[in-house]
Amino acid sequence: MKENMQVQLASTPESQPQPEHFALVKGVMPQAGDQQVLCETLYLSLDPYMRSQIAGRHMSGSVNPGDVMRGETVSKVIESNHADFNVGDVVRCFAGWQNYSVHDGDSIFKVKKEIDNPSYALSALGMPGLTAYAGMIWQAQPKAGDVVVIPAAIGGVGSVAGQLAKIHGCTVIGIAGTDEKCDYAVKNLGYDACINRKKGDLGEQLDALCPNGIDIFFDLVGGEMLNTVSERLAVGARVILCGLMADYNKTTRSMGPPPAMWIKARAIVYGLVVYDFEPRRAEFVDACVNYINEGKLIVREDVAQGLAAAPEAFCRLMRGENMGKAVVKV
Amino acid sequence: MKENMQVQLASTPESQPQPEHFALVKGVMPQAGDQQVLCETLYLSLDPYMRSQIAGRHMSGSVNPGDVMRGETVSKVIESNHADFNVGDVVRCFAGWQNYSVHDGDSIFKVKKEIDNPSYALSALGMPGLTAYAGMIWQAQPKAGDVVVIPAAIGGVGSVAGQLAKIHGCTVIGIAGTDEKCDYAVKNLGYDACINRKKGDLGEQLDALCPNGIDIFFDLVGGEMLNTVSERLAVGARVILCGLMADYNKTTRSMGPPPAMWIKARAIVYGLVVYDFEPRRAEFVDACVNYINEGKLIVREDVAQGLAAAPEAFCRLMRGENMGKAVVKV
């Protein structure tokens, strides 16, 4: 008989999560009821926001010790009691960190046929891509010549945001945590430059690269970096507030930049929550499928093999050691 | 012969400015050159941003000890070598804190004939009014039913912003520093409620008055109040960053709210600098002249008599003791 292996939260980490904060357990095999479908997980997305869920601070709810870790997946329908879904359909759903899950028809979504590689529905053509598209295209509205700064330059959101800005004729400066990532950003993703934030003074390097100030900052980090960048905004700048990586492993929240910086720049600052843009997902997928097919949008995934590898892969993500969007092939 | 009395900065205050930080001196009588006009000051505007100029922190430049204090005035042309201006014309200009000033033709602007009371060109129909109009109407775009919070509720900017929000069908909650001001805001300006920030806990009072959160915050204060309000924003909130009263008498700058608050609210935050909206001044004056004539926009000015009274009037403004827009009848 099939087994439903699960990864549960074992204990709440106080700072950097370690594999021992998670436990691989044999869960109950779920049964599809009336109007429900049973799904087998193909790919699991690992995302920084999960650190907030573990800490009990995320708007989508908390994950407590003993709970199965939550997360978006690409899954295959293996049993269907719902007229809209057939066995074999590939769907997006929030199955969590486990092999099998049951869903109502309104909480699963067929992966578009145009998406050849199903894991892409979790990366560049999924939630991270939609986040990048919403913030960069719908909110920041890049113009040719804008100077754009992208932290986590090659991560799931950042890599798409940066490439979208390049497609729109911007000068794009990345920030990443290793020379290897910086090289990849410039050589493969087309960034004009990429700063290793662990080498030298970030402010001085930004001053040198952006002598006329920064027009768009897609913030995925918060903390001191948001401050450093906000001091260097050009008049008319747009700042997308989207992630708080700098705070995820802390118990306190960093304050934001002094408002004077944003007044001086006449900045428009947008709080971005990707769920709000779900109604416009098709528009984004259509655009980005084309960019991928045209070779304008390079997708890189950091794929861990097997559910048992998920905890370590998540810890690597939280240490910034992933190269590309973190995904688990379950 | 006429005397050009001036108020100069005598020394830079470290915290609250006092009258002894200023000196009344007899300056040189200026002479109008070719293509210039000589003006006599009628009214001088006193504004919080002047505290920043004294501190050397304002984007418009610094005022150092020995300099004549700067400021916008309504003045009368008393001698003209410029074809566009005649003796007797009433104009807006930046004459500063003195009786007489000389200007080129491109730095003075005739006060519109529709403005009956010339001092209004410095208050509700002048820079503070334009600031309020730009932030509330052009940036925040109030909708009927929005819950709007206005600090410095009866001040030069706040009083206009609050009344504009009422005209657009919003629920408007003021914040002020005395019961007298709060009474005036509710009884005369039509605010739905006004909180005395010196009595009780501001957060709790906002929770009681705004159970569904705050849709628009027109920030004139910064500091802790911006934090307290940002924690209580409704989804889709707009925040106008416009003034930093809380910081003007300090040597350090307050940090802003944790970005998580703005992300959670999907807030759009605008840095507002009124100079950017100068090209749209006529549109604003036309709208607000009508509101005043219809009795929908009440203008209150706190008028000091004579240039010698300006330092004390400015110190009162910085202590929050003015009732309405601070102006000096020179």
Q: Would you call A215 an interface residue with chain B, using a CB distance cutoff of 8 Å?
A: no
What percent of chain B clears pLDDT 70, i.e. is strictly above it?
99
Q: Would you call B250 an interface residue with chain A, using a CB distance cutoff of 8 Å?
A: no
| Chain A residues inside the 8 Å CB shell of B253 | 258, 260
What confidence score (pLDDT) does residue B244 get?
Answer: 80
Task: Kindly report the nearest CA distance between residue A106 and chain B, in angstroms.
Answer: 24
Give me the residue from B222, B263, B267 closest to A259, CB to CB.
B222
Same domain membership, residue A111 and residue A195: no
| Chain B residues inside the 8 Å CB shell of A131 | none
Amino acid at B24: L
| Contact check, Cβ <8 Å, A271/B258 | no
The ipTM of this complex is: 0.89
Q: Which of A49, A248, A269 to mutate to test the interface with B (most CBs of B within 10 A)?
A: A269
B313: in domain: yes
Task: Kindly report the nearest CA distance between residue B306 and chain A, in angstroms.
Answer: 33
Q: Which of A50, A77, A67 is nearest to A326 (CA)?
A: A50
* Average pLDDT taken over every residue of chain B: 94
Amino acid at A78: I
| Contact check, Cβ <8 Å, B219/A259 | yes
pLDDT band (50, 70, 90) for residue B56: confident
Q: Which residues in chain A land under pLDDT 50?
A: none
Which of these ranges, A35-44, B59-68, B126-135, has the smallest mean pLDDT? B59-68
CATH code for position B98: 3.90.180.10
Same domain membership, residue B266 and residue B133: yes
Same domain membership, residue B250 and residue B208: yes
Q: Which of B241, B252, B270 to mutate to test the interface with A (most CBs of A within 10 A)?
A: B241
B282: in domain: no
Phi, psi dihedrals of residue A61, rounded to the nearest 5°: 115, 175
B98: in domain: yes
Same domain membership, residue B218 and residue B255: yes
What confidence score (pLDDT) does residue A50 get?
Answer: 94
What do you get for the CA distance between the two ends of chain B, in Å?
Answer: 18
Domain that holds residue B270: 127-275
Q: Which of B122, B118, B107, B114 is nearest to B76 (CA)?
A: B118
Task: Kindly report the nearest CA distance between residue A141 and chain B, in angstroms.
Answer: 14
| Contact check, Cβ <8 Å, B263/A272 | yes
Q: Would you call A1 an interface residue with chain B, using a CB distance cutoff of 8 Å?
A: no
Q: Would you call A264 an interface residue with chain B, using a CB distance cutoff of 8 Å?
A: yes
Cβ neighbours of A106 (radius 10 Å)? 9
What confidence score (pLDDT) does residue A161 get?
Answer: 98
pLDDT (average), residues B180-193:
97
Give me the residue from A226, A269, A272 closest to B269, CB to CB.
A269
Same domain membership, residue B156 and residue B265: yes
Same domain membership, residue A131 and residue A249: yes
Read off the pLDDT of residues B138-154 as tens digits, 9 standing for 90 and up: 999 999 999 999 999 99
Read off the pLDDT of residues B224-256 as tens digits, 9 standing for 90 and up: 999 999 999 999 999 999 988 777 667 778 899
CB B197 within 8 A of CB B225: yes
| Contact check, Cβ <8 Å, B273/A264 | yes
Same domain membership, residue A270 and residue A155: yes
Task: Kindly report the nearest CA distance between residue A182 and chain B, in angstroms.
Answer: 26
Q: Would you call A245 an interface residue with chain B, using a CB distance cutoff of 8 Å?
A: no
What do you get for the CA distance between the two ends of chain A, in Å?
Answer: 18
CB B232 within 8 A of CB B213: yes
A287: in domain: no
Q: Would you call B262 an interface residue with chain A, using a CB distance cutoff of 8 Å?
A: yes
CB B240 within 8 A of CB A230: no
B294: in domain: no
Return the residue of B nearest to A265 by Cα.
B271
Same domain membership, residue A78 and residue A13: yes
What confidence score (pLDDT) does residue B57 get?
Answer: 82
Task: Kindly report the nearest CA distance between residue B240 and chain A, in angstroms.
Answer: 9
Q: Where are the alpha helices (DSSP H) in B104-155?
A: 127-133
Please report how the helices B202-209 and B223-230 are oriented relative to each other, as an axis angle in degrees rounded to 10. 40
Same domain membership, residue B74 and residue B29: yes
C-alpha span between A206 and A173 (Å, rounded): 9
Read off the pLDDT of residues A5-43 as tens digits, 9 standing for 90 and up: 999 999 999 889 999 999 999 999 999 999 999 999 999
B283: in domain: no
Read off the pLDDT of residues B79-124 as tens digits, 9 standing for 90 and up: 999 999 999 999 999 999 999 999 999 999 999 888 889 999 999 9
| Chain B residues inside the 8 Å CB shell of A251 | none
What confidence score (pLDDT) does residue B261 get?
Answer: 94
Indicate whether B172 pLDDT > 90.
yes
Q: Would you call A222 an interface residue with chain B, using a CB distance cutoff of 8 Å?
A: yes
What confidence score (pLDDT) does residue A202 get?
Answer: 97
Q: Would you call B278 an interface residue with chain A, using a CB distance cutoff of 8 Å?
A: no
The count of structural domains within chain B is 2
Same domain membership, residue A252 and residue A172: yes
CATH code for position A184: 3.40.50.720
CA B43 to chain centre: 15
C-alpha span between A187 and A88 (Å, rounded): 39
Task: Kindly report the nearest CA distance between residue A1 and chain B, in angstroms.
Answer: 44
C-alpha span between A61 and A49 (Å, rounded): 11
A84: in domain: yes
Same domain membership, residue B131 and residue B113: no
Q: Would you call A255 an interface residue with chain B, using a CB distance cutoff of 8 Å?
A: yes
Indicate whether B32 pLDDT > 80.
yes
Return the residue of A nearest to B237 by Cα.
A271
CB B44 within 8 A of CB B330: yes
What confidence score (pLDDT) does residue B1 get?
Answer: 61
Domain boundary among B260, B275, B290: B275
What confidence score (pLDDT) does residue A22 get?
Answer: 97
| Chain A residues inside the 8 Å CB shell of B264 | 59, 271, 273
Same domain membership, residue B309 and residue B245: no
| Contact check, Cβ <8 Å, A269/B264 | no
B41: in domain: yes
User: Cα–Cα–Cα angle for B137, B139, B140, nearest 5°?
Assistant: 75
Query: How would you classify the pairing of strands A36-45 and A73-80?
Result: antiparallel
